[in-house]
Each structure stands twice: as structure tokens, then as C-alpha cells.
Amino acid sequence: MVIGLSPPHFHYDVLTTAFRILKREAPYASSAESPPLIATHKAKYIANSLNQLSLGPGPFVSALESAADVRAIVVGKPTQTFFQLVISSLDFPDSAETDGKIAIIGDDVEADLGEGAIELGLWRVLGLFNSFIKSSKLELIDSRFFCSVKTGKYRPGDETKTDNPPDEVVDSFASLVDRLISTGASSSS
């Protein structure tokens, strides 16, 4: 069972079917083992195209975990495995020290900048990015900065809603890039 970001499917009938599959209720009792519950991420909320907050997949995954008495396997942000996979795809020399030189940039202090980003010692930058990038995408700036940027669900004060505040809060992705360029951060080794 895979739960991704599909808001039109987050309603009672679909979630009840998912619950029945996880519990192996008829007509889904074809095997003795429950299927795993896999989540692409557990963000509590997302921003729509009008920058309005809406429920993300997290509350639905949590509901299924609770009701079916299972634990979801999260395969995307902010797991350490996800970040390590991306970092390993970058062209770092084997002897390169990467701690603090790789940044994860996002608009959600928990879903983008939590868990794995903290465990790996990544530079965590929080901000409102909807004015610069209108869709989820990965950016590679130089070989040292990994940036995961989503449309802007950041709200002022989000950085104080966690025990692990971000390393930096910025107004825009463009201002961060301009600052890095002006300080020579993108050209130093």
C-alpha cells in the first residue's frame, strides 16, 4: 500500500478501502500477511496553487497507522536514507568533508528540514519560496548545495514550532543564492 500526494483520493471511501486492505478484510484477504504501508512523506499540510494550506498526506498516513495498527515506511523527505541517496549521487571526492557544506532548503521545518537533515548535519534553510519556484523540484547549485524547494507553505513563526530550529531563515530562494554568490560561497572549496 503506497500513500503519496494525491489530494483527490484523500476521502473516506478510499481511506476505508486502504484500511481494509491493511487489515486483510474481505475481499482483500488473499494473503496471510498484511501489505506494508509505504508513504512518500508525512507532511502535515501542503500549499495549493493559491498558497492556501490544505491537509497533506501525513494525517491520512497517521490515521491508517493507528486504525490498522501498522507503522508506515517513509521513503522520502526527511529520512536520512533519502538524503544519503541523493548525497551519494553527487560528485564529491571520497575524502571530501561534507558536514555543513550541503544545504537542504525548504518551506517546512519538519517535513523538509527534520530527521535525516538533522542527523546528517546538513545546513537547514527555511523560507518562503513560492515567488521564485512554482512547483516541487530539485535544484543542484554547484556540487555542494542540495536544495529541495517546494511552493511556499511557510508561515512566519514556523521556525519556532520545533525543538530543532533551522540554521537559517530566508525571505526567498533568490536572495539566498545572491548572498552565496556575493560572499563567494559557491566558488570556494
Residue among 75, 154, 155, 150 nearest 115 (CA):
75
pLDDT band for position 79 (cuts 50, 70, 90): very high
Separation in Å, CA 102 to CA 9, 145, 188: 35, 5, 13
The three-class DSSP label of residue 15 is helix
| pLDDT for 96 | 60
d(CA 69, CA 50): 36
- Across 5-29, average pLDDT: 90
Residue 50 has pLDDT above 50, yes or no: yes
- Across 46-50, average pLDDT: 80
| pLDDT for 150 | 34
The answer to whether the Cα torsion of 148, 136, 52, 40 is positive or negative is: negative
d(CA 149, CA 129): 7
Superfamily of domain 2-74: HAD superfamily/HAD-like (3.40.50.1000)
Residue 187 has pLDDT above 70, yes or no: no
State pLDDT tens for residues 123-163: 898 886 654 333 333 343 433 444 433 346 888 788 888 88
- Across 82-104, average pLDDT: 76
| pLDDT for 185 | 57
d(CA 30, CA 188): 58
- Across 66-82, average pLDDT: 94
Ranges of each domain in the chain: 2-74, 89-182
Q: DSSP label at 148?
A: E
Over the chain, what is the mean pLDDT? 79
| pLDDT for 20 | 94
CA contacts within 13 A on the Cβ side of 102: 26
State pLDDT tens for residues 107-116: 888 888 999 9
Q: Is the peptide bond before 7 cis (omega within 30 degrees of 0)?
A: no
- Across 45-74, average pLDDT: 91
| pLDDT for 26 | 83
| pLDDT for 95 | 57
